[in-house]
């Protein structure tokens, strides 16, 4: 589970801003949403909906989390830039490091990881184990005045026999590139069994974090659906209940003609030609289909396809290529692996623009399905949206609703929760938001003609709201 994520001096973030997934003790609603944390005092939230005007920084929060994950999993090539994008509206942004810190739960333990990153070097890096509110150092990275980097293992690695970190400590003595995280060095240089229980668990958490961008698709959708019958049944049931017109999905395999390799890009041809006898490779294609390459005496190329079965007016099944389904049907189907995963366990999915191409009721039903089916299982769903259908206190708690607002005088993103406000329980949150009572909306209200404002007031009389405390 993700507990919090903080970022500063990155893209539209200047001062440190934090998204917290720890429940506010002042919010009594929807207790069924909450999951007990190992500290025995706090509880975690399963969901966060983030609102804001275009350009306010919602997507930049997702990009910041994605950037940190890439630093850990993909790493930085030697002598290459770290690829960070500092806050550019303050002259100090370029010269100051960007800072990221994240707190999460792995195997019943709370960890806090963070780093300070410049264009060419990583200034600092730390990983701590949080026990009963106190921090126990796993390791920390120190850069001296000469730019030399050293990694100092903490007591969690040196004194905890369960950590089994002999090879990690040896790697720490060797050191790490100045533009590369030590955590990534552990991933790239040591096998999982040599990483020790602590670092291997932390690395698994980062690898299981799934970030879905607005235009991205689940590339291996066909193979995912075909792997387990329960997944196909799950997808079929959801699409029927969502009234998409799809009765069921059909996964098939089509053999491609000889000589088809010449139609692929050179890099793809090289990958296929590098395969050895008996090798089988699955290469994702558009719309979730997969190309399956089998190397034997020759090369056999197949395409795993997805078709959608509908019912004709005569009551007969009619099959369509999945690519001919509406954008909304394709979008919701590509999101189903996320819903399935977080309903099955403790996966964390971050979806930018969850409502893209989706009807508001369908997007809301997707979220409601997660809250119902994933209850108590530790999965989390974090998403950005403009859809006010989620601004519903019968669906979400106030501390599960977040706003990103662009400070007009500084151009920096301010991140805050609805729980920062005192609101009546019967207040229409969606209407109050659109009226600008929580900010985080485009400042265009004053541009409407006076007669438009009068009509709007007649249709929606003003509610009262106690200001933020």
What is the structure's pLDDT at 409? 76
What is the structure's pLDDT at 268? 67
Alpha carbons within 13 A on the beta-carbon side of 78: 2
239 vs 244: CA distance, rounded Å? 6
Domains of the chain: 1-214+352-469 (3.40.50.300), 221-325 (no CATH)
Q: Which of 413, 446, 375, 329 has the alpha carbon at shortest distance from 51?
A: 413
Predicted TM-score of the model (pTM) = 0.87
* Burial (CB count within 10 angstroms: exposed 0-12, middle 13-18, buried 19+), residue 124: middle
- H or E stretch covering 232: helix 229-241
Render each residue's pLDDT in the chain as its tens digit; 469 residues.
Answer: 999 999 999 999 999 999 999 999 988 999 999 999 988 889 999 999 999 999 999 999 999 999 999 999 999 999 999 999 999 999 899 999 999 999 999 999 999 999 999 999 999 999 999 998 899 999 999 888 787 889 999 999 988 655 678 899 999 999 899 999 999 999 999 999 999 999 999 999 999 999 998 888 777 888 899 999 999 999 999 999 988 999 999 999 888 765 555 666 666 677 777 878 778 777 777 667 887 888 777 778 888 899 999 999 999 999 999 989 998 999 999 999 989 988 887 789 999 999 888 888 889 999 999 999 888 888 999 999 999 999 999 999 999 999 999 987 788 999 999 999 887 777 788 888 887 888 877 765 555 556 655 654 555 444 433 333 3
The strand pairing partners of 130, in sequence order, are: 110, 135
Residue ranges with strand state E in 90-146: 98-106, 109-117, 122-131, 134-143
* Burial (CB count within 10 angstroms: exposed 0-12, middle 13-18, buried 19+), residue 281: middle
What is the structure's pLDDT at 465? 38
DSSP conformation letters of 149-198: EEEEE-HHHHT-GGG--HHHHHHHHH---TTS-HHHHHHHHS-GGGSHHH
pLDDT tens per residue, range 279-307: 877 777 766 788 788 877 777 888 889 99
C-alpha pair distances (Å), 64 with each of 119, 291, 341:
15, 33, 23
The strand pairing partners of 104, in sequence order, are: 2, 111
Cβ 440 vs Cβ 89: under 8 Å: no
- H or E stretch covering 35: strand 35-36
Q: Which of 212, 154, 244 has the alpha carbon at shortest distance from 347?
A: 212
Q: Which of 305, 146, 311 has the alpha carbon at shortest distance from 221?
A: 305
64 vs 352: CA distance, rounded Å? 12
What is the structure's pLDDT at 159? 84
**What burial letters (b/e) apply to 202-240, b meaning 16+ CB within 10 Å?**
bbebbeebbbbeeeebbbbbbbbbbeeeebbebbbebbe
67 vs 322: CA distance, rounded Å? 32
- What lies within 8 Å, CB to CB, of 119 at 6+ separation is 81, 82, 84, 94
C-alpha pair distances (Å), 210 with each of 56, 162, 341, 342:
23, 29, 10, 11
Beta strand pairing status for 2-8 and 210-212? Answer: unpaired
What is the structure's pLDDT at 281? 79
Cβ 127 vs Cβ 183: under 8 Å: yes
Six-digit token string for 406: 């662009």
460 vs 438: CA distance, rounded Å? 17
- What lies within 8 Å, CB to CB, of 365 at 6+ separation is 241, 242
* Burial (CB count within 10 angstroms: exposed 0-12, middle 13-18, buried 19+), residue 24: middle
267 vs 68: CA distance, rounded Å? 28
The phi and psi torsions of 101 (rounded to 5 degrees) equal -145, 145
Six-digit token string for 264: 């692929």
pLDDT tens per residue, range 213-256: 888 877 788 889 999 999 999 999 999 998 899 999 999 988 87
52 φ/ψ sector (left φ>0, alpha ψ -120 to 50, else beta): left
The strand pairing partners of 201, in sequence order, are: none
What is the structure's pLDDT at 449? 58
């Amino acid at each position: 589970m993700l507990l919090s994520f903080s970022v500063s001096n990155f893209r539209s973030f200047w001062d440190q801003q934090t998204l917290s997934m720890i429940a506010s003790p002042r919010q009594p609603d929807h207790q069924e949403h909450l999951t007990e944390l190992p500290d025995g005092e706090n509880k975690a939230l399963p969901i966060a909906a983030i609102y804001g005007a275009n350009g306010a920084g919602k997507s930049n929060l997702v990009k910041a989390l994605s950037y940190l994950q890439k630093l850990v999993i993909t790493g930085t090539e030697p002598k290459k830039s770290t690829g960070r994008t500092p806050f550019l509206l303050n002259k100090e942004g370029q010269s100051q490091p960007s800072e990221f810190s994240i707190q999460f739960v792995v195997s019943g333990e709370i960890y806090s990881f963070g780093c300070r990153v410049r264009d060419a070097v990583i200034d600092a890096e730390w990983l701590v184990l949080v026990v009963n509110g106190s921090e126990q150092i796993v390791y920390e990275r120190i850069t001296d005045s000469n730019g030399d980097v050293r990694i100092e293992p903490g007591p969690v690695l040196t004194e905890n026999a369960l950590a089994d970190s002999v090879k990690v400590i040896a790697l720490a003595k060797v050191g790490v590139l100045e533009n590369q995280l030590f955590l990534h060095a552990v991933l790239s240089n040591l096998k999982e069994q040599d990483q020790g229980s602590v670092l291997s668990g932390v690395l698994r958490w980062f690898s299981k974090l799934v970030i879905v961008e607005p235009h991205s698709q689940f590339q291996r959708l066909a193979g995912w659906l075909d792997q387990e019958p329960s997944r196909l049944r799950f997808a079929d049931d959801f699409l029927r209940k969502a009234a998409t017109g799809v009765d069921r999905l059909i996964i098939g395999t089509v053999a491609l003609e000889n000589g088809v390799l010449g139609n692929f890009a050179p890099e793809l041809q090289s990958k296929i030609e590098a395969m050895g006898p008996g090798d089988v490779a699955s290469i994702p294609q558009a719309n979730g289909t997969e190309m399956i390459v089998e190397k034997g005496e020759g090369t056999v190329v197949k395409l795993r396809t997805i078709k959608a079965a509908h019912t004709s007016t005569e009551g007969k099944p009619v099959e369509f290529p999945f690519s001919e389904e509406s954008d909304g049907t394709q979008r919701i189907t590509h999101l189903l692996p996320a819903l399935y995963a977080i309903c099955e366990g403790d996966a964390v999915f971050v979806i930018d623009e969850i409502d893209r191409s989706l009807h508001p009721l369908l997007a809301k039903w997707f979220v409601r399905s997660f809250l119902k089916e994933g209850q108590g299982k530790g999965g989390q769903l974090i998403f950005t949206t403009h859809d006010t259908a989620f601004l519903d206190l019968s669906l979400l708690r106030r501390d599960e609703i977040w706003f990103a607002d662009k400070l007009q005088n500084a151009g920096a993103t301010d991140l805050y929760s609805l729980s920062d406000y005192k609101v009546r329980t019967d207040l229409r949150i969606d209407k109050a938001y659109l009226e600008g009572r929580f900010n985080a909306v485009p400042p265009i209200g004053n541009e409407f003609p006076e007669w438009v404002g009068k009509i709007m007031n007649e249709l929606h009389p003003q509610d009262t709201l106690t200001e933020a405390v």
